[in-house]
Amino acid sequence: MKRRTLDILFSIGGLGLAVLLLVIGIVLTSNANFANNYVRDQLGAQNITFTPADQLSDDEKKVDCLVENAGKELTTGKQAECYANEYIGLHLKNMAGGKTYADLGEPQSQLREQVAQAQQANDPALADLQKQLADVSAQRDTVFKGETLRGLLLTSYGFSEMGAKAGQAATVMYLGVALLLLLSLAGLFHAFRTPPSEAFAAPEAKKVDTAA
């Protein structure tokens, strides 16, 4: 095979691969933009604002991201992660001593049974048991709402991270396109500088010993 032909074939192949990477990069960029815009729009619609710096509790002041975002509107995935884990998570821990919605189910069921038994026996402790049940029920309801919001915010954070990864992958694709274009152009330049008759890896002609 002629060297020029081989250079042209490799260059055309490189250009084709560059086009393919460019298409993939455009798709990834589109996905990244969609994820970022979707997260921003959805979070912005919730009108969540971080607590101002002068209203942060002592525990909240120890959290860097709460201090950095103090008073700001929540619009990004990173902010959603901070609000979910550090703000809601902190308040849920302080409110229920670290107990989850599921954890509070058992004491609530036990108190319901005790209230039912106290009602049947006209137990004078009925009022106190009813108050305990009301407190646990209210606490469990609040924890449920907090855990639900926390889960939704973390879902938004995960979606934003997928967008960020897509953006990074798109950048890699564009760098690959640039590299392939340079190599392909160099191959074409070399091809047209190579004599048409030059063969690729042609065997060297054997020297004839004329001294004999």
SS3 99: coil
- Which residue do the tokens 């009301």 mark? 134
- Which residue do the tokens 């055309």 mark? 12
What backbone phi and psi angles, to 5 degrees, belong to 138?
-65, -40
What does the alpha-carbon distance between residue 165 and residue 171 come to, in Å, rounded to a whole number? Answer: 10
What does the alpha-carbon distance between residue 97 and residue 80 come to, in Å, rounded to a whole number? Answer: 23
What does the alpha-carbon distance between residue 8 and residue 16 come to, in Å, rounded to a whole number? Answer: 12
Average the pLDDT over each of 105-109, 115-119, 122-126, 156-160 and give the range with the smallest value: 122-126
pTM: 0.73
pLDDT tens, position by position, 67-87: 999 999 999 999 999 999 999
Evaluate whether 21 touches 176 at the Cβ level (below 8 Å): yes
Mean of the per-residue pLDDT values for the chain? 86
